[in-house]
Amino acid sequence: MGEGLVLAVVVLIVLRGMTKGVDVYGAFIQGGKRGMDAAGSLLPALCAMTMLLAVVNASGLSRVLTSLLAPLMRLMNLPEEVAPILLLRPLSGSGSMAALQEIFVQCGVDSRAGRIASVLVSASETIFYTMTVYLGATNIRKLPWVLPVSLASYMVGAAVCGAVIH
C-alpha cells in the first residue's frame, strides 16, 4: 500500500502542476537545488553524530545507557536496541539518522527493531531544536508546559509504535 502511495503522490503532484500551468521541470530543478544545499550543509552535523555514536558504542557506554532505559523500554514493549534512537530523536535529526543506520546494520532493516526504529524516527520531531528555532526568533524566553507536553506526546507515540509493530 505504501509503495503505491509514493508513486501516486508523485504522479498526482506532477499532474496538478501541469493543470495549474506550473513550469514543472523548472520547479523540480530549483527545489532540488535547495535540497542539495541543505544536504551538503548536513555533513558536519552527520559526522559529529557518527563520531559520537562510534565512541559511545565502542566504549560500552551505550550498553550502560541501554540497561538504564530497559525498564521503560519493556513497559512500552520496545526492543532494547532502539534505546539510543528514543534518546537521540528529540535532540538531533542527524543523530537519529546515524543511529537508525546503525540499527539497520546491527539488527537488519526488516527486523522488529529496524521497523520500530524507522517509525520512531519518521513519526516524531526534533523537539528541542524546533523550540530553539521558533522561540529564538521572538523575545519569549520560556513558554511553560510546551516541552513536557511535547515529550509526553512523544512517549505516547513511542508506546503506540511498540503496540502496533509485531
Partner 1 sequence: MNKVWCVLVVAGGVAALLGDGGAGAAAQLLQSGQGAVELMLVLAGSMVLWSGVMEILNRTGDVERLGRLLARVLSPLFGGLKDGECWSAMGMNIAANVLGLGNAATPAGIRAAQLLEKQGEAGLRALAMLLVMNNSGLQLLPTTVMTLRSAAGAANPADVWLPGLLASGAATVCGLVLMGLINRGGLRRG
Q: Give the 3-state secondary structure of residue 138.
A: coil
Shortest spacing between CB 23 and partner 1, in angstroms: 8
Q: Is-contact 123 113, C-beta < 8 A?
A: no
Are 114 and 104 contacting, i.e. CB atoms less than 8 angstroms apart?
yes
The yes or no reply on residue 75 touching partner 1 (CB under 8 A) is: no
Regarding 84 and contact with partner 1 (CB under 8 A), the answer is: no
Q: Round to whole Å and give the CA distance between 146 and 66.
A: 27
CB of 72 to partner 1, least distance (A): 16
With cell 523575545, the residue in question is: 139
Q: What is the DSSP letter of 42?
A: T
Using CA atoms, how far apart are residues 131 and 54, in angstroms rounded to an integer?
A: 28
Give yes or no for residue 60 binding partner 1 (CB under 8 A): yes
Query: Shortest gap between Cβ of 3 and partner 1 (angstroms)?
Result: 5
Q: Is 76 in the site for partner 1 (CB under 8 A)?
A: no
CB half-sphere exposure, 87, CA atoms < 13 A? 16
Residues 94-113 that bind partner 1 (CB under 8 A): 97-98, 100-101, 104-105, 109-110
We find the least distance from the C-beta atom of residue 70 to partner 1, in angstroms, to be 19
Taking CB under 8 A as the rule, does residue 129 contact partner 1?
Answer: yes
72 near partner 1, rule: CB under 8 A: no
